[in-house]
Amino acid sequence: MTAVVYARLRVTDPSRWRGVALAWRRWAALAGRLAADLTTRLSRTAAAWSGAAASAALARVAALRRRLVLFRVLCWQADQTASEFAVSMERARELLARAGRRGVLIDDDGSVRSPGDPTAATEVSAAISVAAHADDRAAERMARLTAAAQQPTAPPPDRPAGTASPAEVSRWWAGLTTAERQWLLATEPSWLGPLDGIPAADRDTANRLLLEERRAEVKQAPGLDALADRLADDDGPRAYLLRLDDREEGRAVVALGDPDRADNVITHVPGMTAGLASFSGELSRAARVAERATELSPAASTSAVLWLDYDAPDFVDEAASARRAEAGAPALRRFLEGLRATEDGPPARQTLVGHSYGSVVVGKAATTAGLAADDVVFVGSPGVGVDTAGDLAVPAGHVWSSTSRSDIIQYAAPAPGSLLKKLELAAAVPIIGPALAFSRPHQDLWFGHNPSDPSFGACLFPSSPDAGHLGYWDRGSPSLDALASITLGTAR
């Protein structure tokens, strides 16, 4: 078995599998254009033609459109399979390359001749394990897709109650036949897409259909267009669209890599002004943590999730209130419960990160027992709604925080108007204005004690002195390394 896997791994080119995934994505796009054209023609024909013959023709065209939609579903599912296989092969080949740099020689049968470095032999073994696991999963998934393409779809006999928990939704979904699942994906994406407890791969398929519907309805939607461009991108981990709501500033939940199959999952909650217009920058921050985690530990798969499913404040006066954080916290808890319910394999290590006002959302979510996260991290926080780490329903040693000494957030005193006054003072007084306004950081911030103050009781990790409010994710920074280590569970 080892010899066969190693032989395949040596000749497998991950970029070719990325090309396969991209081809399936393009087929899905073509089918979407054809389905949209049929929809237009269907409407025009129905308005101009009536009678028995017209009804028969319209029914035939409608059936063809449904088949095109189902074909899109199958294309995206094949794309998911090929994309995940490519990423796994990249990790496996990186492990082999690391072993090679240590001077390891590997025979054709996969046996190792090592210069005495046990780490190298472990890396070779991990590479073969990653490759074998990926090969088995891809083969099993493609076999299921082949079978699904050859059978008719059918509506499910029942639906979960509106009050069903993510775990109950997951059990309901697992009890459906493949034909019933495909029917729901193709016909009811708007109902299925936001449902916590549905596997990430299936939510992604439903939400991609929903995204295309919304783009067709809204002619000018830069946020939706940018989101669609990222979903079509073949550079880096495949994106999974887990939630979409384009009302107001827009909301979206996007994962890079399948969180249901990852060893580690980091969920990033952004802060003030976050919306569809700014999602690319927020997603890149979460992505850098996952990339760094993979660099540190290629044997472990890491998925990064941008959770933008709350109404983030747009202005300072809105950010001075905890109301939006309190409104968003229940949805965040439910989303994390959904990730736990849909795990496909051993339980993943779940890390929850809140930045700026997002840390208030995380803090509100973490005050009640049962939060489905192993570690909670606050970055550049204005306070999290409590005064000590012990006030959070998170085990001791699993609350983390960092604030750069150049981050203006630490000067946000309890009175909401004080920051505005300090900004005015800093601008009004030449040269020494900033020093007068921001002479020292406050321990008590808008939403409680500064979590980066030692007396709060969190595990503190370093950040660059010049990181400001957004530089925590800069490549090469100590905070990025710390976030990756926390995600992997290796931080001390």
Residue type for 34, please?
L
Question: Where does residue 44 rank: exposed (0-12), middle (13-18), buried (19+ CB within 10 A)?
Answer: exposed
Asked, colleague to colleague, whether 2-149 and 236-488 share their fold, the answer is no
Residue where the block lists tokens 């509100």: 364
- Helix (H) or strand (E) holding 418, with range, is helix 416-428
Contact 82, 17 (CB under 8 A): yes
Of the two residues 320 and 300, the one the predictor is more confident about is 300
Please tell me the distance from the alpha carbon of residue 18 to that of residue 439, in angstroms, as a whole number: 53
Phi/psi of residue 249, nearest 5 degrees: -70, -15
Q: Give the strand pairing for 251-256 and 448-449.
A: unpaired
Looking at residue 436, its pLDDT comes to 43
Strand partners, 112: 106
Secondary structure of residue 148 in the 3-state scheme: helix
Does position 158 have pLDDT exceeding 60, yes or no?
Answer: yes
pTM of the model: 0.90
- Write b or e for each residue in 397-409: b if 16 or more Cβ atoms lie within 10 A of its Cβ, otherwise e: ebbbbbbbeebbb
Does position 300 have pLDDT exceeding 60, yes or no?
Answer: yes
User: What average pLDDT does this structure show over 100-117?
Assistant: 72
Phi/psi of residue 198, nearest 5 degrees: -90, 135
Please tell me the distance from the alpha carbon of residue 288 to that of residue 283, in angstroms, as a whole number: 9
* Range of lowest pLDDT (39-48, 89-98, 102-111, 212-221): 102-111
The contacts of residue 310 (CB under 8 Å, 6+ apart) are 251, 269, 324, 325, 327, 328, 331, 332, 361
Spell out where 173-323 has E strands: 239-245, 251-256, 264-269, 302-308
Confidence of residue 240 (pLDDT cuts 50, 70, 90): very high
Secondary structure of residue 213 in the 3-state scheme: helix
Please tell me the distance from the alpha carbon of residue 358 to that of residue 306, in angstroms, as a whole number: 11
- In the chain, where are the structural domains located? 2-149, 236-488
Sheet containing 399-402, strands listed edge to edge, beginning at the edge strand earlier in sequence: 239-245, 251-256, 302-308, 264-269, 349-355, 375-379, 399-402, 459-460
Of the two residues 409 and 339, the one the predictor is more confident about is 339
175-185 pLDDT, tens digit per residue, is 999 999 999 99
355-390 pLDDT, tens digit per residue, is 999 999 999 999 999 999 999 999 999 999 999 999
Percent with pLDDT over 70 in the chain: 91
Does position 423 have pLDDT exceeding 60, yes or no?
Answer: no
Of the two residues 11 and 77, the one the predictor is more confident about is 77
* Range of lowest pLDDT (40-44, 125-129, 420-424): 420-424
User: What average pLDDT does this structure show over 267-294?
Assistant: 94
Does position 352 have pLDDT exceeding 90, yes or no?
Answer: yes
The contacts of residue 299 (CB under 8 Å, 6+ apart) are 91, 95, 123, 126, 127, 129, 130
Please tell me the distance from the alpha carbon of residue 344 to that of residue 84, in angstroms, as a whole number: 14
Report CA-CA distances (Å) from 112 to 9, 101, 107, 115, 143: 15, 14, 6, 10, 33
Secondary structure of residue 300 in the 3-state scheme: coil
The contacts of residue 458 (CB under 8 Å, 6+ apart) are 378, 389, 399, 400, 401, 451, 452
Under CATH, what is the fold of the domain 2-149?
Answer: Ferritin (1.20.1260)
First to last CA, the chain: 38
Looking at residue 116, its pLDDT comes to 65
Does position 115 have pLDDT exceeding 70, yes or no?
Answer: no
User: What average pLDDT does this structure show over 111-115?
Assistant: 67
443-463 pLDDT, tens digit per residue, is 678 899 999 999 999 999 999
Phi/psi of residue 277, nearest 5 degrees: -65, -25
User: What average pLDDT does this structure show over 483-487?
Assistant: 99
Does position 61 have pLDDT exceeding 80, yes or no?
Answer: no
Residue type for 47, please?
A
User: What single string gives the DSSP state of each residue in 18-34?
Assistant: HHHHHHHHHHHHHHHHH
User: What average pLDDT does this structure show over 269-285?
Assistant: 91
Strand partners, 243: 253
Does position 421 have pLDDT exceeding 80, yes or no?
Answer: no
Under CATH, what is the fold of the domain 236-488?
Answer: Rossmann fold (3.40.50)
Please tell me the distance from the alpha carbon of residue 332 to that of residue 326, in angstroms, as a whole number: 10
